[in-house]
Copies of this chain bind each other. A is one copy, B any other.
């Protein structure tokens, strides 16, 4: 029993640190977060963190990858509940917004500012994000869009929308699902009924 507690404490400790780090990164950005900040929030000195992690870079990349892994799973599950292409898109948007706007989700909101991250970190982040975006590539491919809309631009517009939502949404004033519904309302254009004048 005491051995389990020790093991749990050690294993849980690393995860705890990761979650704390994720929240501070999300709030203050990569450069704005010092190892001493993370240590303070975890109740230890900055140097002590290096028994659990290899470097600040590695910590950040690991967090980013874990966040996208979790997001992919949640979105895939949400999509499966719908058959129609617009319903699937709205489910994906709502799930992603849920993640981006939940302050407890210790997840990805740092997905954006690639500019303040070291070069080697940036290539790892971009590579992972590109794979993530494949999911939306197929969602957009299934939409019955009018021919004059470029699907590549359309997908980028939609994704940058979802990524930057955290910058302007006032928490509590509107639910993520309502915002997702509004986004889909704006992005919805059907090709099926061109009124034969």
Which A residues lie at the B interface, using CB under 8 A? 27-29, 31-32, 112-116, 148-150, 153-154, 156-157, 159-161, 163-165, 167-169, 174, 179, 182-183, 185-187, 189, 195
With A168-B160, A189-B186, A195-B195 as contacts: A116 and B31 at CB distance below 8 Å:
yes
* Residues B186 and A32 in contact, CB atoms below 8 Å apart: no
A164 CB contacts on chain B under 8 angstroms: 112, 160, 163-164
A29 CB contacts on chain B under 8 angstroms: 31, 113, 115-116
A149 CB contacts on chain B under 8 angstroms: 182, 185-186
The distance from the CB of A182 to the nearest CB of chain B, in whole angstroms, is 5
* Residues A153 and B179 in contact, CB atoms below 8 Å apart: yes
Give the nearest-CB partner of A160 in chain B.
B164
Distance in angstroms between the alpha carbons of A112 and B163 in the assembled complex: 12
Distance in angstroms between the alpha carbons of A31 and B28 in the assembled complex: 12
Contact of A182 among B116, B150, B163 (CB under 8 A): B150
